[in-house]
């Protein structure tokens, strides 16, 4: 008499994969790491540390064409690269932490959507827009402006173009992070009619105009807030988003003939 076949052990239920607590896209991780490495310049002797601000910070007086124009370290080259490099410098640890904390939720979504190359180019373009806004409103200013807040503001503006769409990371119906970052964006005219977007814009502009939180201009008399640069970066992110967005727009289905 044959013995009964041995019972096979029942498979154990597989545990659902655990999401990392801080699951940042590679592009944003690289950007934050770049800011952190550059911030190590604060360990330099004070004279050399401030020299890095003069060479790589954005100084409106550098573009003064009058006879009273003062020479600055960096020469002609600094008139070009400081439109971007100022955004990689920070005054102190609290300054860089503040910018990174704002960047984590919004920059993550934008970095997932754009990919590395587009994300870094976008951050550079919004930094340039912030520098132009600061230059127009601070002509002849000698205090260097530093800080990533213009780029952070641009990332926030880009994010709201798709954040409130169905399935977006600020909508009530959310999927995983990658899917939420790839939902089709709203047209700008429709986004500006969304009450949630308008409420976000009102709060953001109110904070920046009234309190001036963010980017810092370092001068001899202390620090002041370069809130105009935030607004320049924000408008650039809002208006130029479509030039960087690789996700196709949702095309409405054609209406059937009666």
Residue 223: per-residue pLDDT: 57
Q: What domains can you pick out in the chain, each with its CATH number?
A: 26-244 (1.20.1540.10)
Residue 161: per-residue pLDDT: 87
Residue 18: per-residue pLDDT: 43
Q: Which residues contact 27 (CB under 8 A, 6 or more apart)?
A: 111, 114, 115, 116, 119, 120
Q: What is the DSSP letter of 174?
A: B
Residue 19: per-residue pLDDT: 42
Say what the alpha-carbon torsion angle 55, 61, 64, 67 is, to the nearest 10 degrees.
-100
The answer to whether 217 and 225 are in contact (CB under 8 A) is: yes
The answer to whether 185 and 113 are in contact (CB under 8 A) is: no
| 10 dihedral zone (left: phi>0; alpha: psi -120 to 50; beta) | beta
Residue 68: per-residue pLDDT: 59
Per-residue pLDDT of the chain (258 residues; tens, 9 = 90+): 555 555 555 554 444 444 443 578 899 999 999 999 999 999 999 999 999 999 999 999 888 877 555 678 888 899 999 999 999 999 899 989 989 998 998 999 899 999 999 999 999 999 999 999 999 988 888 889 999 999 999 999 999 888 876 655 555 455 566 676 777 888 888 888 888 889 888 888 887 776 555 444 444 444 566 788 999 999 999 999 999 998 877 655 444 555
Residue 20: per-residue pLDDT: 43
With both helix axes pointing from N to C terminus, report the angle between 26-39 and 116-137 in degrees, rounded to the nearest 10.
50
From the CB of residue 95, how many other CB atoms can be counted at a distance below 10 Å?
Answer: 21
d(CA 61, CA 138): 9
223, two tokens: 């620090």
Q: What is the DSSP letter of 253?
A: P
Residue 4: per-residue pLDDT: 53
Q: What is the DSSP letter of 167?
A: B
Distance of CA 243 to CAs 106, 184, 238, Å? 18, 14, 11
| pTM reported for the whole predicted model | 0.80
| 204 dihedral zone (left: phi>0; alpha: psi -120 to 50; beta) | alpha
């Amino acid at each position: 008499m044959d013995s009964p076949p041995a019972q096979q052990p029942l498979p154990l239920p597989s545990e659902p994969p655990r999401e990392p607590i801080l699951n940042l896209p590679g592009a944003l991780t690289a950007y934050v790491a770049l800011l952190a490495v550059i911030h190590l310049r604060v360990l330099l002797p004070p004279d050399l540390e401030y020299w890095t601000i003069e060479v790589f910070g954005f100084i409106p007086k550098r573009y003064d064409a009058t006879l009273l124009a003062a020479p600055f370290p960096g020469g002609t080259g600094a008139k070009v690269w400081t439109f971007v490099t100022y955004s990689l410098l920070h005054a102190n640890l609290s300054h860089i932490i503040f910018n990174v904390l704002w960047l984590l939720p919004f920059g993550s979504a934008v970095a997932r959507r754009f990919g590395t190359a587009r994300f870094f180019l976008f951050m550079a373009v919004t930094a340039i827009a912030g520098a132009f806004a600061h230059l127009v409103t601070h002509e002849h200013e000698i205090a260097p402006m530093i800080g990533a807040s213009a780029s952070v503001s641009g990332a926030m503006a880009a994010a709201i173009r798709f954040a409130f769409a169905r399935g977006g990371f600020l909508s009530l119906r959310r999927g995983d992070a990658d899917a939420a970052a790839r939902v089709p964006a709203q047209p700008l005219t429709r986004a500006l009619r969304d009450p949630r977007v308008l409420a976000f814009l009102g709060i953001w502009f109110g904070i920046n105009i009234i309190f001036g939180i963010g980017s810092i201009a370092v001068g001899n008399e202390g620090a002041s807030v370069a809130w105009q640069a935030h607004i320049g970066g924000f408008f650039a992110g809002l208006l130029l988003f479509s030039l960087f967005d690789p996700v196709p727009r949702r095309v409405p289905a054609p209406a059937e003939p009666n």
